[in-house]
Amino acid sequence: QVQLVESGGGLVQAGGSLRLSCAASGRTFSINVMGWFRQPPGKEREFVAAISWSPGTTVYADSVKGRFTISRDYAKNTMSLQMNSLKPEDTAVYYCAATRSIWNQYRVRSSAYYDYWGQGTQVAVSS
């Protein structure tokens, strides 16, 4: 099994930046894809970004493309989400996810594609 722990959430003003991290443990060798989802208050969970563990192919939601950057560190078994130019609508609980499934640029956008989830970390962007 795989365990995921997010960190780095917090409060930030609009236009600011924040970097989230996700640490994976357990059978990390089985992970093929990792991604980030978020759930704004009172709304459904939505896709943010995903990355294949190798070679590092990425996909972004249109709402964050150009502002957020997803990356992974093989040696540390971690994934990061660099969030720049933050907007109030970015306020949400952000979740790290992972799966053993092979990469598919469309399937990675669905929460059902992922097998493992972190506990979430809160990001609040003030106007």
> What pLDDT score was predicted for residue 74?
87
The token duo for 45 is 């969970």
- Percent above pLDDT 70 for the chain: 100
Q: What is the pLDDT of residues 55-73, one digit of tens each?
A: 999 999 999 999 999 999 9
Per-position DSSP letters for 63-83, written without gaps between them: TTBTTEEEEEETTTTEEEEEE
Q: Does residue 107 carry a pLDDT above 90? A: yes
Confidence of residue 123 (pLDDT cuts 50, 70, 90): very high
Confidence of residue 92 (pLDDT cuts 50, 70, 90): very high
